[in-house]
Amino acid sequence: MKKLTLLLMMASLSSCTNLILDEDEPNTQSNNFEIFWNDFDKHYSLFTIRNINWGELYETYRPQINDNISDEELWNILSNLIEHLDDSHTVLYDGNGNRYRSGYTLNQQSTTEISEELIVSKYLDSVTEVPSEDHLSFGKVKDKDIGYIYLGTMDGQNPAAIDNVINELKDYKAIILDLRQNTGGDDRYSSRIAKAFSDGEHFIYTVQTRNGLDHDDFDEKKEYRTYSNEENPYLKPVVVLTDRKTISAGEIFLLHMKSFEQVVQIGDTTAGDFSTVSNMRFLPNAWHYQYSIQKFLLPNGESLDGIGHAPDIYVKNSQADISASNDKVLEKAIQYLFDEYQIR
């Protein structure tokens, strides 16, 4: 195989380089597979964490490749290969609008297990959207002394807007913070939102970026802590609702929130996909892809990648529940606040 030309391109959240190919790099099905497999082998960060024998998978899938197979067959082989990673930060694109996201079945299924219309019409007195932020809104639970916040992404213009939200809800005896279907975004955004609920500084996780040819080659650990907050944090009971599509920076947000004494998690286990994603990578056939390049570890050295945040109280909706206009997850949160704190 010809040596690849590598172009170092700095990115704000990634130390992984873009893969730029020589113009005469052979566009054969065999070469596309080899480039793909070898690039993962050299840079993907979670083989050990997710207990993946990448060499064994090569022996399984390489014999299925020859230069006479169709593009559809190659697509299916590469998709099947990365599905073993069960990592929704690993995505294959064909350049025509099609993509395959590894380990995404349960994440996608969860979209039928929540209804914004149902929440607003049945469970809330009112809803106010925060104009500057994507999918940030707040209100009050009907007939209850409970505030409600919906946070659907960790990507907006001004995370400090949460302070104004908390100011509006500060007199309620508890807050339900709905993190279901949170698609992630910026970890810094997550930490700033969490600051509004902070009961102090806590060491919560470390990050390392893969930096060598061995699957266990990483740079030094960088430690992350919660913000201290001396400016009117909300320290009353907080229930955080989660589902299988609470993902990435949404899960980083939970690392912050679950370190605070007043917070409990109710719902389904989260996605279990924490890592920062590489810059875009390219194949000679114009397909492109991305993958995880870091590992996030708890202070005790354990990883939640491939596992996710298990809720303190497990409950999930079925599609039938939603069709019957019942959000059992939200109802469980309301009942919990009554049972534990007599909040009506």
| Final residue of a structural domain among 48, 77, 103 | 103
Same domain, 19 and 122: no
Per-residue pLDDT 10s for the chain (344 aa) are 322 323 223 333 333 445 556 667 899 999 999 999 999 999 999 999 999 999 999 999 999 999 999 999 999 999 999 999 999 999 999 989 999 999 999 999 999 999 999 999 999 998 999 999 989 999 999 999 999 999 999 999 999 999 999 999 999 999 999 999 999 999 999 999 999 999 999 999 999 999 999 999 999 999 999 999 988 999 999 999 999 999 999 999 999 999 999 999 999 999 999 999 999 999 999 999 999 999 999 999 999 999 999 999 999 999 999 999 999 999 999 999 999 999 99
CATH code of residue 38: 3.30.750.44
Residues 6+ apart with CB under 8 A from 209: 15, 16, 45, 218, 219, 276, 293, 294
Residue 24: per-residue pLDDT: 79
> Does residue 207 sit within a domain?
no
Structural domain including 140 reads: 114-198+233-272+308-341
CATH code of residue 185: 3.90.226.10
Residue 148 burial (C-beta neighbours within 10 Å; 0-12, 13-18, 19+): buried
> Does residue 181 sit within a domain?
yes
Same domain, 255 and 324: yes
| Final residue of a structural domain among 54, 81, 103 | 103
Domain count, the chain: 2
Same domain, 156 and 251: yes
> Does residue 204 sit within a domain?
no
Same domain, 194 and 260: yes
Q: Would you say 228 and 197 are in contact if contact means Cβ atoms under 8 Å apart? A: no
Q: Would you say 176 and 263 are in contact if contact means Cβ atoms under 8 Å apart? A: no
CB hemisphere CA count around 293 (13 angstroms): 22
Alpha helices in the chain (DSSP H): 29-43, 54-61, 71-83, 105-109, 116-118, 161-169, 187-195, 249-257, 319-323, 328-341
Please tell me the pTM assigned to this model: 0.91
Same domain, 262 and 177: yes
